[in-house]
Amino acid sequence: MALSPEELEQEIRKLRGLLQLLHEDQPDVMEDIFAFHVGTLVSHSAPDQHASIRMRARQMLAEVQALPRRVETTRGPVIGLMPAELVPAT
């Protein structure tokens, strides 16, 4: 089953969103998931579209990897038993 050009474009946009999420949260698995999804897109498209899909996908991966990542400033969960406002003054 070959995807229509509109469906293919929609799937590529979804892949970009997924890559952006992975870039922030799980960069160590991003390339494996990318390879899987690109393979799926290629297998569901016409042969004359394969080179274009791969080229656009590689470009998209490079763009996402070039984005800055947010760095968490806390090292773990902050556990507070009672909000500071409720602690009695001594």
Q: For residue 64, what pLDDT is reported?
A: 92
Ranges of the chain with pLDDT below 70: 1, 71-85, 87, 90
Q: Kindly list the domain boundaries of the chain, sorted by start residue.
A: 5-66
Q: pTM of the full predicted structure?
A: 0.69
How high is the pLDDT of residue 8? 86
Burial status of residue 12 (CB atoms within 10 A of its CB: 0-12, 13-18, 19 or more): middle
